[in-house]
């Protein structure tokens, strides 16, 4: 397939890997975090870590909006959905995210709640138009990538005078999470979370551009390379990061030039700005309360804000204490470090959100990484024998 297979050429990937091995200095280690869950998935699926020299390590970041949603917001959505007049619409990957006491939207649906999986925000608008006797709430979630479609749905609701539609807004902002990680006192001091550069998110950057990352490169001295999701995109970005570290540079570079610009999609940004403003504070799973890190509807659109319309409260809920999802999101631990991984926690019985979303680090490792680890162990055993 043109423009797909070209970015999955194994021979080119091995050639770039050889360049990384040549340029990576043997007297030092390189620690890079891929922020986006799509990059984590690509690294696991295509075995990119197996192509890298031992002193180049990739650290999984928090870049999955489903994964960073705190359990209290899930509980709030479940409580809302159980109200008899409510039809809750949401994307499919939210259905199985665990709430408190083993609850989930999927289980609430099985118990009789009117919860519908949609593929587009406009599906929720259509349901509200067709079923005027129902209060239709769209459970909005995502980084900057999925916020413009939510803004578009709100615009249509206003233009069409749809009165039975509202939004439970959980849109969060990528730069806030990057700043939290960089401000952590552990970064650079412990090998477990040492970060010397970032692979910047792809889809997010098509909306916000590369300019928002510049302050991180300047203030914290960390190189950032925005990359696409294909394996050649990711491994080229790693090479670019190695070169920056070797040169002592800390710049924002754009590997994904076929889709990302410096300024991003200004039309989408304007649409979002029209309907949303910064929320004072928002809790992130694994990162805690972050100021000005999420969006909320502007006051003039309050009647479309489900939290205000239905006086929603966010319970103070705690994650399963044995689940390491929070530390995995911060890059402190890897999926296999969690004692629940692969035992009681699997895609069929997820204990944490990292195992639910297709972009979650645990789901990626379950699908691809664990098999490579077993192969390495077997090979090591044969070598010793």
| CATH number for 271 | 3.40.50.11740
Q: How many residues are given for the chain?
A: 385
Rounded Cα distance between 328 and 371, Å, is 19
pLDDT per position as a tens digit, 112-123: 999 999 999 999
> Is the confidence at residue 384, as pLDDT, over 60?
no
Residues 127 and 248 in one domain: no
Min mean pLDDT across 27-36, 188-197, 243-252, 273-282 is at 188-197
The Cα–Cα gap between 117 and 115 comes to 7
Check whether residue 62 and residue 146 sit in a common domain: no
Residue 377 within any structural domain of the chain: yes
CA torsion, ordered 298, 299, 303, 306, to nearest 10 deg: 60
Instruction: Note whether 124 and 268 are same-domain residues.
Output: yes
Q: 144 and 200 in contact (C-beta within 8 Å)?
A: no
What is the distance between the terminal CA atoms of the chain, rounded to a whole angstrom?
A: 44
Cα–Cα distance between 88 and 287 in angstroms, integer? 27
Indicate whether 179 and 146 sit together in one domain: no
- Is 319 within the bounds of a domain? no
Domain that holds residue 374: 336-384
228 and 351 fall within a common domain = no
Q: Mean pLDDT across the stretch 281-293?
A: 91
Domain count, the chain: 3
DSSP per-residue string spanning 335-350: GGGSTTBTTTBSSSS-
* 329 falls within a domain: no
In tens, the pLDDT along 230-244 reads 999 999 999 999 999
245 and 202 share one domain: yes
CA dihedral 172, 177, 179, 185 (to 10 degrees): 150
DSSP secondary structure string for all residues of 108-161 = HHHTT-EEEE-SSHHHHHHHHHH-TTSEEEEEEEESTTTHHHHHHHHHHHHHTT
Q: What is the pLDDT of residue 254?
A: 98
φ/ψ of residue 271, rounded to 5: -65, -45
246 confidence band (pLDDT: 50, 70, 90): very high
Do 297 and 275 belong together in one domain?
yes
What is residue 385's predicted lDDT score, i.e. its pLDDT?
44
Looking at the fold, whether 116 and 72 belong to one and the same domain comes out as: yes
What are the angstrom distances between the C-alpha of 77 and each of 89, 104, 149, 296?
10, 9, 20, 16
- Of 41, 36, 39, the closest CA to residue 364 belongs to 41
Among candidate residues 209, 227, 196, 178, the one with its CA nearest the CA of residue 39: 227
Rg of the chain over all Cα atoms, to the nearest angstrom: 21
The string of pLDDT tens digits covering residues 139-171 is 999 999 999 999 999 999 999 999 999 999 999
pLDDT number for residue 319? 76
Residue 242 belongs to a domain: yes
For residue 168, the number of C-alpha atoms closer than 13 Å in the C-beta half-sphere is 27
168 in a structural domain:
no
The pTM of the full predicted model, rounded to 2 decimals, is 0.88
């Amino acid at each position: 397939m043109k423009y797909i297979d070209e970015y999955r050429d194994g021979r080119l990937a091995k050639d770039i890997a050889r360049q990384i091995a040549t340029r990576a200095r043997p007297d030092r280690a390189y620690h890079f975090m891929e922020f986006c869950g799509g990059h984590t998935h690509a690294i696991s699926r295509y075995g990119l870590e197996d192509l890298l020299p031992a002193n180049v390590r990739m650290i999984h970041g928090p870049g999955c909006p489903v994964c960073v949603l705190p359990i209290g917001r899930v509980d709030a959505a479940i409580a809302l959905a159980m109200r008899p007049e409510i039809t809750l619409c949401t994307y499919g990957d939210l259905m199985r995210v665990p709430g408190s006491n083993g609850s989930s939207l999927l289980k609430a649906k099985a118990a009789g709640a009117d919860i519908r999986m949609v593929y587009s925000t406009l599906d929720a608008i259509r349901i509200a138009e067709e079923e005027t006797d129902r209060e239709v709430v769209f459970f909005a979630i995502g980084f900057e990538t999925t916020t413009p479609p939510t803004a578009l749905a709100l615009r249509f609701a206003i233009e069409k005078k749809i009165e039975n539609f509202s939004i439970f807004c959980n849109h969060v902002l990528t730069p806030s999470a990057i700043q939290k990680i960089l401000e952590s006192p552990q970064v650079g001091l412990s090998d477990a979370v040492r970060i010397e550069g970032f692979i910047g998110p792809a889809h997010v950057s098509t909306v916000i551009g590369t300019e928002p990352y510049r302050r991180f490169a300047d203030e914290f001295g960390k190189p950032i390379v925005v990359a696409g999701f294909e394996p050649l995109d990711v491994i080229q970005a790693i090479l670019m990061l190695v070169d920056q570290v070797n040169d002592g540079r800390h710049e924002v570079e754009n590997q994904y030039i076929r889709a990302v610009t410096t300024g991003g999609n200004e039309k989408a940004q304007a649409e979002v700005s029209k309907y949303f403003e910064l929320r004072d504070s928002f809790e992130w799973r694994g990162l805690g309360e972050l100021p000005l890190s999420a969006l909320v509807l502007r006051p003039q659109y309050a009647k479309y804000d489900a939290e205000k319309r239905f006086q929603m409260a966010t319970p103070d809920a705690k994650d399963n204490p044995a689940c390491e999802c929070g530390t995995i999101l911060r890059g402190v631990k890897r999926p296999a470090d969690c004692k629940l991984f692969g035992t009681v926690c699997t895609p069929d019985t997820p204990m944490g959100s990292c195992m639910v979303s297709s972009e979650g680090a645990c789901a990626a490792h379950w699908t691809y990484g664990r098999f490579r680890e077993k192969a390495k162990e077997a090979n090591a055993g044969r070598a010793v024998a």
